[in-house]
C-alpha cells in the first residue's frame, strides 16, 4: 500500500516506532521548521527512503531532496549493530542521552558494563541518567565508580559527597534515646582483612584499604607506578585457608587502565610452592565480576618450571598466601572487592 505525504500525516497518530523524518520547510527560510513525520525507515535508496507508517500498513517513498533531516530511533539504530558490538551500543547510548531518552540510555549502558570498547565516561553518563530518573542510589554508585577511575573530576567528587548525604543520611536518635542505629553492615570477604603488600619482584606501587562511599563496603586499592618488570604482584597473607572443599574463587575488580589488562591468580601453599592460573582479560572502567575455578589441572608451578598449566593445586588444605598478578608495565589504579571462595 502506498500513501502520499498527506496520508502519512494522518497515519502518524498510531505509530509504534519513533524514527522521525523532518521535511524541508515550504518557506524560503532554511531555518524554518518543516513537517515532521514519525514512522520507521524501512529502506534507504540513493535518491529516496521507504518509510513505514501506521503499524506497517502504510508505506511511502520520500525523495531525499525533500528531506531536511532523519532522526533514527534507538531500536532502528541497534538493528544495524551486532549484540556484541559494545562500542556501537555505547555510541547509541550517548545519542540517547543527548536526546533525553534516559530509560533507553540506561538499558544500553547497563548492557555495556564490564565490556570492552566503551567510553571512559560511560559510568558518569549512566550516573547522570539515573539522577534524571531519580534513581539516586544507583546514581551514587555509578558516580562513585566513575570517580575511582577519574579521581581528579571535582564536579563528580562534589556530586558523590552530596548524594552520599541524601542516600545514606546519618541516623537521628529519638529524644532521650542515646542508642544510635548505624548504617547496615556490608559483608566483606578477604578484601576486608589480612596483610596486603606489593611484591618487590614485580613493578612498584602501593596497596591499602579503602571504603566505597556508596555502600560502605571495604575494598583493597592498588596504585601501581609502572616499571620494567612484566607484571605487578599484590599478595594477601592472613589466617591460612583450607580450600579442600572449595571449587571456585569469586571477586570483583575495577581498574582505570587505558586498555584491558591480563590478570592471573596465584596460591602459595604451606611449603611455599607458587601455583598460578591462566590469565583473565579484564576490561577497564567498570566493575567486572570474576569467577575463577580452582579445581583440576589448571596451574603452572615451581615443580614444572612454570611451563604448562597442567598441575593441580597441592596443599590446598593450607594456603598461606594469595597473589593477584597484573601483567602490565603501565601505571594503573585497581580495586578488589567481595573476595570469597565457594
Q: Give the CA distances from residue 218 to residues 10, 186, 336, 339, in Å, rounded to whole numbers and listed in that order.
A: 60, 8, 9, 11
Gap between the Cα atoms of 311 and 252, Å rounded: 26
Q: Across the chain, how many H-helices and E-strands are there?
A: 7, 17
Supply the CATH classification number for the domain 84-167.
Answer: 1.25.40.10
CATH class given for the domain over 5-72: mainly beta
Which CATH number is 190-341's, of 3.40.605.10, 3.40.47.10, 2.60.120.260, 1.10.1740.10? 2.60.120.260
Cell of 79: 538493528
Which residues does residue 266 pair with via DSSP β-bridges, in sequence order? 276, 323
Cell of 43: 529502506
pLDDT number for residue 17: 45
Gap between the Cα atoms of 125 and 146, Å rounded: 9
Gap between the Cα atoms of 127 and 115, Å rounded: 17
Q: H helices within 68-168, ranges in order?
A: 74-78, 86-98, 102-112, 122-132, 136-149, 154-167
- The pLDDT tens digits along the chain (342 residues) read 343 444 444 344 444 446 778 888 887 787 788 888 877 777 888 888 888 877 667 888 889 888 887 777 888 788 888 989 999 999 999 989 988 889 999 999 999 999 998 988 999 999 999 999 999 999 999 999 999 989 999 999 999 999 998 887 766 555 455 444 445 456 789 999 999 999 999 999 999 999 987 788 899 999 999 999 999 999 999 999 999 999 999 999 999 998 999 999 999 999 999 999 999 999 999 999 999 999 999 999 999 999 999 999 999 999 999 999 999 999 999 999 999 999
DSSP 14-73: G-S--EEEEEPPSSS-TTS---EEEEEEEEE-SSEEEEEETTTTEEEEEEGGGEEEEE--
Q: Would you say 265 and 322 are in contact if contact means Cβ atoms under 8 Å apart? A: yes
Sign of CA dihedral 103, 104, 107, 112: negative
Sign of CA dihedral 198, 204, 208, 214: negative
pLDDT number for residue 55: 67
CATH fold match for the domains 5-72 and 190-341 = no
pLDDT number for residue 225: 92
Sorted by where each begins, the domain ranges of the chain are 5-72, 84-167, 190-341
Q: In whole angstroms, what separates CA 243 from the centre of its chain?
A: 31
Gap between the Cα atoms of 268 and 313, Å rounded: 9
Q: Would you say 266 and 199 are in contact if contact means Cβ atoms under 8 Å apart? A: no
CB atoms closer than 10 angstroms to residue 219? 21
pLDDT number for residue 21: 83
Gap between the Cα atoms of 305 and 296, Å rounded: 18
Amino acid at each position: 500500500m502506498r500513501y502520499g505525504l498527506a496520508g502519512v500525516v494522518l497515519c502518524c497518530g498510531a505509530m509504534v516506532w519513533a524514527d522521525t523524518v523532518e521535511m524541508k520547510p515550504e518557506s524560503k527560510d532554511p531555518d524554518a521548521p518543516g513537517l515532521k513525520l514519525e514512522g520507521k525507515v524501512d529502506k534507504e535508496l540513493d535518491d529516496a527512503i521507504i518509510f513505514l507508517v501506521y503499524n506497517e500498513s502504510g508505506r511511502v517513498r520520500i525523495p531525499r531532496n525533500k528531506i531536511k533531516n532523519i532522526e533514527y530511533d534507538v531500536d532502528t539504530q541497534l538493528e544495524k549493530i551486532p549484540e556484541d558490538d559494545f562500542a556501537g551500543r555505547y555510541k547509541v547510548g550517548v545519542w540517547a542521552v543527548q536526546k533525553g531518552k534516559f530509560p533507553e540510555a540506561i538499558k544500553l549502558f547497563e548492557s555495556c558494563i564490564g565490556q570492552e570498547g566503551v567510553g571512559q565516561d560511560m559510568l558518569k553518563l549512566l550516573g547522570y541518567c539515573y539522577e534524571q530518573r531519580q534513581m539516586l542510589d544507583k546514581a551514587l554508585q555509578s558516580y562513585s565508580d566513575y570517580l575511582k577511575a577519574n579521581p581528579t573530576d571535582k564536579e563528580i567528587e562534589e556530586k558523590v559527597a552530596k548524594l552520599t548525604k541524601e542516600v545514606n543520611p546519618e541516623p537521628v536518635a529519638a529524644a532521650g534515646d542515646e542508642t544510635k542505629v548505624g548504617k547496615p553492615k556490608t559483608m566483606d570477604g578477604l578484601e576486608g582483612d589480612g596483610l596486603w603488600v606489593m611484591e618487590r619482584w614485580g613493578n612498584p606501587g602501593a596497596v591499602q584499604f579503602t571504603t566505597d562511599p556508596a555502600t560502605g563496603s571495604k575494598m583493597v586499592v592498588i596504585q601501581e607506578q609502572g616499571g620494567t618488570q612484566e607484571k605487578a604482584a599484590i599478595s594477601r597473607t592472613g589466617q591460612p585457608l583450607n580450600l579442600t572443599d572449595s571449587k571456585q574463587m569469586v571477586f570483583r575488580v575495577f581498574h582505570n587502565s587505558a586498555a584491558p589488562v591480563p590478570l592471573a591468580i596465584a596460591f602459595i601453599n604451606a611449603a611455599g610452592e607458587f601455583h598460578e592460573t591462566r590469565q583473565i582479560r579484564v576490561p577497564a572502567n567498570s566493575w567486572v565480576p570474576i569467577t575463577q575455578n580452582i579445581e583440576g589441572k589448571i596451574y603452572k608451578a615451581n615443580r614444572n618450571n612454570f611451563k604448562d598449566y597442567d598441575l593441580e593445586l597441592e596443599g590446598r588444605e593450607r594456603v598461606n598466601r594469595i597473589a593477584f598478578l597484573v601483567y602490565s608495565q603501565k601505571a594503573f589504579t585497581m580495586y578488589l572487592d567481595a573476595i570469597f571462595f565457594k
